[in-house]
Structure 1
Amino acid sequence: MKLQLKLEYAAFLLLGIYAFAQTEYSWWWFAGLFFAPDISMLGYTVNTKTGALLYNFFHHLGVAILVYLAGVYLSLPYLQMIGAILFSHSSFDRILGYGLKYPDSFQNTHLGKIGKNRE
Structure 2
Amino acid sequence: MTKSIEKLLKLEELGQFLLSIILFNHLGYSWWVYPALLLLPDLSMVGYLVNTRTGAWLYNLFHHKLVAILILALGYMFNVSALTLAGIIFFGHSAMDRIFGYGLKLPDNFKHTHLGWIGTKG
Same fold (TM over 0.5): yes
Alignment partners' CA distance in 2, 1:108 and 1:31: 27
Question: Cα deviations across residues 60-93 of structure 1 (Å, max 9, x unaligned)?
Answer: 0001100100011000111111111110010000
- Structure 1 residue aligned with 2:46: 42
Alignment partners' CA distance in 2, 1:6 and 1:36: 22
Question: What TM-score results when the alignment is normalised by the length of structure 2?
Answer: 0.92
Residue 82 in 1 paired to residue 76 in 2?
Answer: no
Question: What TM-score results when the alignment is normalised by the length of structure 1?
Answer: 0.94
1:99 to 103, 110, 120: 103
Moved over 3 A (4+): none
Q: Offset of 1:25 from its aligned partner?
A: 1.2
- Structure 2 residue aligned with 1:113: 117
Q: CA RMSD in A?
A: 1.3
| Aligned residue pairs, count | 118
Identity %: 50
- Structure 2 residue aligned with 1:67: 71
- Structure 1 residue aligned with 2:18: 14
* Gap runs ≥5 in structure 1: none
Alignment partners' CA distance in 2, 1:115 and 1:7: 20
The letter of the residue matching 1:77 is S
